[in-house]
Structure 1
Amino acid sequence: MSEELKTIKELADELGITKQTVQYHIKNLPSKIRKKNSRGAILLTKEEQNFINSRVNKQSDREQSDREQSDREQSDSEQSDREQSDREQSDSEQSDREQSDREQSDREQSDREQSDREQFYLEKIKIQEEQIEDFKEQRIELRGQVKHLGMLLDQQQRLALQDKKLLEEYKAENDSLKALKMPTEETEFKHLDNQYKDEVNALKEKLENLQEQIKDQKRIEEQEKPRKWWELWRK
C-alpha cells in the first residue's frame, strides 16, 4: 500500500484514537469522494490525513483547556463554598435577629388588627341598633295605616248597605203602586188613572235621580278607594 494512503484503522492507530472518531471527522472533509482498496476499505490521502490530524489535535487542545478550566473552576468553587459558608453563618445570625424583630412586629400588628376588628364590630352593632329602631318606627306607622284603611273599608261597606237598603225600599214602594187596584167606574178610572200615572212618573223620575246619585257616589268612591291594606303590607 502507498505510504501516502492509509486506511481508517491505520490512521486511528497512528493517532491513538478510535475508528469511530476518524469516521466522525471524515464527515467534515471538503471532498465527498473517497478512494477504496481492493477490499472496499476507504483510503485517506495525505491531505485528508493532515486535515483529520489537525482536527484531532484541536480537539485534544480543547479537552486539555477544558480540563484546566475545570480545575480552575473547581478551585474557585471550593473558595466560593468557603466564602459562602462564612456568609451563611453571618446571614444565619442576621436572620435570627431579623426573625426576632419580625415576630415582635407581627405581635404588635396582630394587636392593632385585633383592636381594629373590635372597633369595627362595635360600630356595626351600633348601626344595626339604629336600623332596628327605624324598623320599629316603620312598623308603628304601618299599623296606623292598616287601622285607617280598615276604617275606610268599614265605612265603604256601610254606605254600600245603605244604598242597597234604599234601593230595596224604593223598589218595594214602586211594586206597591203597581199593585194598587183600579176603580171599576169608568169616570173614576180615567181620573185616577191620570193621577196615578203622574204620581208613578214622579216616583220614577225621583227613583232615577236617586239611582244616578248613587252611581255618581260609587264612581267617586272607586276613584278615591285606597289599595287594600294587605297589598301595602306585602310591599
Structure 2
Amino acid sequence: MSENFKTIRELADELGVSKKKIHYQVSKLDSNLIQRLDGTIYLGKSAISKIKSNMGYSKMSISDTLDIQNRHVLDSGLDTEKNKLINEKSEQISYLKEQLNKKDGQLAIKDEQIKSLVEIQNQTQNLLDQQQRLALQDKKLLEEYKSEIQSLKALTTEDNKAHAEEQSEDANISVKDKSKRWWRFGK
C-alpha cells in the first residue's frame, strides 16, 4: 500500500518479536484502526503507535530503536546468507545426484560390455579347444598315414626284391638255356 501502512510481519520484524505477539496486540485494537485488503491486515501509524505503547516500545530511546532495526537488518542478512548457502548446497546436491545418475548409467553400459566380452572370450576359448582337438586328430591321422606309407613302401620293396629275384632267376635260366643251346650247336 503506502509507506504509512505496515503488515503484521513487517511490524514483527521491525520490533524483533513474533507475529503471534503482534496478532494478539491487533486483536485488542479497534477495527477502524485496521485495514484489510485481499486477506492481508495493514496497520496505520496510529495502530502501530498503540501496539508499540502496549508492548512498552514507546519508552525506548532512539538508540534502542536503531538497535532493533540493526538486529532486524542483521537477521535478514543472516537469513539471506542462509538462503544463499541453502540454495548453493541444494544446487550442489542436485548436481551430484545428476552425476551419480550418469555414473550409474555408464556403469550399466560397462557391465553390459563386460558381459559381452566375457561371452566372446568363452566362445574364443571354445574355438581354441576345438582347434586343438582337430590338430591332435590331424596329427594322429598323419601318423597313421605315415605308418601305412612305410608299410606300403616295405611291401613294395619286398615285392620289388621278389620281382627282381624272379627276374634275375629268369635271366639266369634263360642264360643257362642259351648257354646250353649254344654248346649243343657247337658239339
Q: TM-score, normalised by structure 1?
A: 0.35
Q: TM-score, normalised by structure 2?
A: 0.43
